Structure 1
Amino acid sequence: MRYLFLIPVFTLLTVAFRKSDTQTAWVRINWLGYQPTGSKVAVWGSKIDEPLQRFQVIEAKTGRVMYDHQAGKAYGTYGPFRQSYRLDFSAFRKPGTYYLKTGVVRSPEFRIAEDVYEGAADFCLRYMRQQRSGYNPYLKDSCHTHDGYTMYGPMPDSTHVDVSGGWHDASDYLQYSTTSANATYHLLAAYRDFPDVFADKHQANGLEGSNAIADVLDEARWGLDWLLKMHPTDNWLFNQLADDRDHMGMRIPKEDDFYGKGFERPVYFCTGQPQGLFRYKNRTTGVASTAGKFSSAFALGYQLLRPQDPAFANRLQHRAQTAYALGLQKPGACQTAPGRAPYFYEEDNWTDDMELASVELYNVGQARGQLKQDYLNKAIAYAGQEPVTPWIKNDTARHYQWYPFINIGHYELAKQLKAKQRQEIISYYITGIDTIWQKAKNNAFYRAIPFIWCSNNLTVSFAIQCYWYRKLTGDTQYAQLEQACFDWLFGCNPWGTSFVYGLPSWGDTPVDPHSAFTHLKNYPIDGGLVDGPVFGSIYRNLIGITLKDPDEYAEFQSDLVVYHDDYGDYSTNEPTMDGTASLVYLLAAKQAEKNAPRKR
């Protein structure tokens, strides 16, 4: 069943017009709609090289032409299209329901209104709750309650430790500290920056009912509780729960009995050395990438939870410091452990994580004098070691090689600095943004983010980076690039589909994701952000992908990039927990801009 995510009640918009056998052109829009004062751009793409002179905004109810404008610049070939144009109607601001028309081609209907993003961030929290391990409120049942037994630690292998809880990482049931800590931080930051956006309709255990705490904070607390289990003592830090033996078959989450020790699953200790129990090994060089993520999540959790639960907050504050100390002791990147397949999270950077941890410990305010200044100085030094997140400078990367996909520390650090130091940190953001812009401005979708695995996660992160740059500086020169990334996620892409399950309920969204919930039980995975399109060259070389149904987007695939709404495609259509958590932040930011005047 699909659910409406919007709080206001209004008539549902009509679904996209189905193509005819002779259709050669399409208009792609953001299914969620557009805010009156924001950037409003659709993309027209044609299978033949034909010119487009003008387009019109038509009022859906009356059929009246409300806005008529030149189509502007021809952008040429992109993906499946031989010709393309950007249809910019930002100057039209009247609220209402409309569609665009170019000759005989018309777009789906869309709304222009202040509240078009209302409730969207809360909608995506549905997926986070569904991903819970331990007690799962969606299933109203428990799973993985016996986790786990240790590997690689200072204790004897197979020692039991209690690490039940947290979130399953994607459609499999592995759990990673690195993605969980990053997701927790994004949820905490969303509440800190946009507290009025979120509702209180669920209890701490995820079941329906108010508990006087915003649902996003309940979800972040669920993440923090598990991270504390994964860092239970000053010197113990665990990186991963389970491994790719999980992939032997799809199932609804339960107690897994195929890891060799009853219902327990292996939990991998952070050693700072390469790991892998079977044929494949990772290339781990240290602990700091994981430790830094733990520290920053704990430090921000302390700042937000101290008023309501000081005892818990003090635990977070202590663990923020002990995790940070482990990062200092063993600098380097801590990758996830592969099993019987060659795929793992190949994170190679770590100074960005320690930068964020340093500035958040500075923000905690417990340190005084020189110690407090030391945190700030370390943050500045770490920032200089990775001014631009490396994937931005390249057209490809290994899986999760540069993670998180945004340097969060730059934003938090810039807020604490003044004058020349502040401008230096901000320059790191603009360098990255302009690198993308110089390539993106040459195609109608303003697209230059590489189509690697989890390209949607990169898109969300880059949109947030553009947003943070705009907030730090007031500079709006990249506002359309920022909006183009957002629009891409919700339908303004070659396939004309939103990449978020069920969002919006009237739009073209994934219906057949690579998910056991939908595949086995037809359970909706509301709010889940799927991986997104990949380069055709990547898709053709992946192991074990076979589409189970005819490809409804076949005519929009290209040698450049492919996307399939098909259970058989784990590379483009698998939802991810951490990508969804990042999207919660972005959607909260968009909703919070309601009624905010913006320059064009």
Structure 2
Amino acid sequence: MPMKKNISRLARFLCTSLLIITTVTQFKSLAATLPDAIRSGGPSRPHQTKIAVVVSQRSYADKAFTLDNEKGETVFTGKLKAANTSEPWAYAASADFSSFKSVGRYRIHVDKLKSEPWVIDAKANSELVIALLGIFLANRDGKENSSLHKPAHLHDATVKGGRYDNKKFDFTGGWMDAGDQIHFTDTTAYAAIILQIAAKLDPVNADALNNEADVGIRWLLKAHPRPDLFIGQIGDMSDHALGFRDPATDDQSKLPGIGHRLAYPSVLSGMMGKTAAALAFAAERNSGKARRKLLTQAKQWYEQGKANHSDQQLPGHFYDNLTWHDDMSIAAVMLWRLTGKTQYQQDAYRYLDDIDHTLSVASVGVLTAANLCGALNHDATKNIKIQKFACDYLHTAAQEAISTATIDNAPWGTPGHMYWGQSGFNGSHGAIIAFAKRANLIKDASVASRARDWLLGLNPWGASFVVGYGLNSPATPHHWASVFGNNLPKGAVVGGAAAMTEMKKTNFSKKELLDSDRAVYSPKIESYANSEPSLVYSANSILLITSLNTLKN
């Protein structure tokens, strides 16, 4: 799934960095200065997995733990189980009380250690879904009603390059991409896809999710104003050179590329596929003239992507085109759903079969597989060969994600690799596990619930990675909203942890007490690899939370 590619910004999901694992001796020497603690998660639904983690300088394995209610009464007792990794502490152990299902607020106790409250609520996470829309509300642009700024970038934009060079078109609206104010067709389309899938999984919040997706859809319809013109990016490195500011001030700027921004054409097949899919999902939930318009545009983006497999880069090289088959596959499967034409289904299968399966967890193709396998509120394809292939693909991806959580990241349980943008991986990989469970491909989807807990504080730092939500949430994210004060934009998901090998790409070198080479996290504004939010991180986290709706573990 997509990420920004720039050595000083965000990395794409398909990066393949090596993780450095330092020796146990090194970790134990550091552990002498670390305080013992209990990290808790939630909020959880009664039936979902609930596993806290005790980290310490001495072993607590096999010791008893208790779960106490707000009156101080013990309502559950259990035994701690040793974890197979503990860095940067000397020891770690897990406290599993998943079988306890009574609604309320509880603390885990081990000797003199006490956790933060763990909330069990039958309606847990519905509020969180709405909160996670925060960056979308803030990053709305043009005359779309932003929660933080007045109308902005109303001069967008003048085309740069190609047949329409220096021509002016209306490209206002949509979302700004991340902590910057640039627009990318790639991430706009991706976010719109994910929000619409999430709406299918969450009937309670479906209207809010689809309404927000429509902000992106309206802009995508503008991004193709002529039969031979497709826009990939609005704005460029001029935005970064200027730094953080109120977006509404840009229109008065006399600086090149700021007051009057440039629009860059692109025919990257990955972008074409994502946009076609986003428009096709929107067509599915519309009717009449609106449906016909959306479907027509979806076909045009798809056919252009099918005809042109360009790897030409956009200014700044923010997004690559290392793969495009997966993006075209999700477009093809949705066009098949809408038109009934078997050629589209065959295209989806062919594109999916072309993807390097060793990267399946990080691929949009997993959404295609989940769709064909019947895990996304669509019926499974009746083509037995394609159905089996898709279900096998989804099963393999889920097993990869579970393996990451149970081996690489024990005892924390996050299925996301410690690459740049770990919060995005955590969300997408957790959702993959949930989809596999929905399709009855796996028996245990508990790692999906643990991915939510990692996001909200069940991690070495005891920190929420959601701005303004949960304990120890990031107060100074790397985002232009910092000009309006701290704790903004509320609900935005930041990049989260990353391996030291990733952090060194940003000239970061100083680890704090709770960091290890395996996982480093700093909420400071200057630590942009950790603290910058993005549409993708938030979209994937929303997908994770909504995918948990029907799980029983």
Same fold (TM over 0.5): yes
Matched, 1:36 2:36: no
TM-score (norm: length of structure 1) = 0.80
Q: Please give the residue correspondences for 1:581-592 in structure 2 after superposition, counting only pairs within 5 Å.
A: 581-590=539-548, 592=549
Of the candidates 262, 265, 268, which is equivalent to residue 269 of structure 1? 265
User: Could you tell me whether the CA contact under 8 Å between 2:477 and 2:487 is conserved in 1?
Assistant: no
Distance 1:183 1:241 in 2: 17
Deviation at 1:99, TM superposition (A): 0.5
Deviation at 1:88, TM superposition (A): 1.0
Q: Secondary structure at the match of 1:441?
A: helix
Letter in 1 for 2:299: Q
Matched, 1:363 2:337: yes
Deviation at 1:146, TM superposition (A): 0.4
Of the candidates 160, 185, 189, which is equivalent to residue 181 of structure 1? 189
User: Could you tell me whether the CA contact under 8 Å between 1:57 and 1:98 is conserved in 2?
Assistant: no
Residue in 1 that maps onto 2:357 = 388
Deviation at 1:346, TM superposition (A): 2.6
Q: Secondary structure at the match of 1:99?
A: strand
Q: Secondary structure at the match of 1:240?
A: strand
Deviation at 1:347, TM superposition (A): 3.7
Q: Please give the residue correspondences for 1:7-46 in structure 2 after superposition, counting only pairs within 5 Å.
A: 24-30=35-41, 32-46=42-56
- Cα deviation, 1:226-248, whole Å, max 9, x if unaligned, reads 00111123321111111122112
Deviates more, 1:413-422 or 1:101-110: 413-422
Q: Secondary structure at the match of 1:119?
A: helix
Letter in 2 for 1:575: P
Letter in 2 for 1:184: A
Deviation at 1:422, TM superposition (A): 1.5
Letter in 2 for 1:567: I
Distance 1:91 1:37 in 2: 8
Q: Please give the residue correspondences for 1:183-198 in structure 2 after superposition, counting only pairs within 5 Å.
A: 183-198=191-206
Of the candidates 59, 69, 74, which is equivalent to residue 50 of structure 1? 59
CA separation of 1:332 and 1:403: change in aligned 2, threshold 3 A: farther
CA separation of 1:189 and 1:328: change in aligned 2, threshold 3 A: same
- Cα deviation, 1:181-230, whole Å, max 9, x if unaligned, reads 010111112223322234xxxxxxxxxxxxxxx22222111111100111
Letter in 2 for 1:57: T
RMSD: 2.4
Residue in 1 that maps onto 2:372 = 413
Letter in 2 for 1:234: P
Distance 2:313 2:459 in 1: 33
Distance 2:128 2:258 in 1: 41
Which segments of 5 or more consecutive residues in structure 1 lack a partner in the other structure? 1-20, 199-213, 272-286, 393-401
CA separation of 1:53 and 1:292: change in aligned 2, threshold 3 A: same
Distance 1:462 1:170 in 2: 21
Distance 1:43 1:329 in 2: 52
Deviation at 1:491, TM superposition (A): 0.8
Matched, 1:296 2:277: yes
CA separation of 1:403 and 1:471: change in aligned 2, threshold 3 A: closer
Residue in 2 that maps onto 1:379 = 348
CA separation of 1:23 and 1:373: change in aligned 2, threshold 3 A: closer
Matched, 1:101 2:109: yes
Q: Secondary structure at the match of 1:473?
A: coil
Matched, 1:349 2:323: yes
Residue in 1 that maps onto 2:20 = none
CA separation of 1:482 and 1:492: change in aligned 2, threshold 3 A: same
Larger helix fraction of residues: 2
Deviation at 1:67, TM superposition (A): 1.4
Matched, 1:327 2:305: yes
Residue in 2 that maps onto 1:398 = none
Q: Secondary structure at the match of 2:263?
A: strand
**Percent of aligned positions with the same letter in both sequences?**
24
Q: Secondary structure at the match of 1:231?
A: coil
Deviation at 1:537, TM superposition (A): 2.1
Matched, 1:499 2:508: no
Deviates more, 1:434-443 or 1:97-106: 434-443
Residue in 1 that maps onto 2:389 = 424
Residue in 1 that maps onto 2:74 = 65
Deviation at 1:58, TM superposition (A): 2.9
User: Could you tell me whether the CA contact under 8 Å between 2:499 and 2:518 is conserved in 1?
Assistant: yes
Deviation at 1:332, TM superposition (A): 4.8
Matched, 1:77 2:86: yes
CA separation of 1:262 and 1:85: change in aligned 2, threshold 3 A: closer
Deviation at 1:542, TM superposition (A): 1.1
User: Could you tell me whether the CA contact under 8 Å between 1:239 and 1:336 is conserved in 2?
Assistant: yes
Of the candidates 239, 243, 252, which is equivalent to residue 246 of structure 2? 252
Matched, 1:560 2:524: no
Letter in 1 for 2:283: Y
CA separation of 1:76 and 1:379: change in aligned 2, threshold 3 A: closer
Residue in 2 that maps onto 1:123 = 131
Residue in 1 that maps onto 2:406 = 441
Kindly tell me the number of residue pairs found equivalent between the two proteins.
Answer: 510
Letter in 1 for 2:350: A
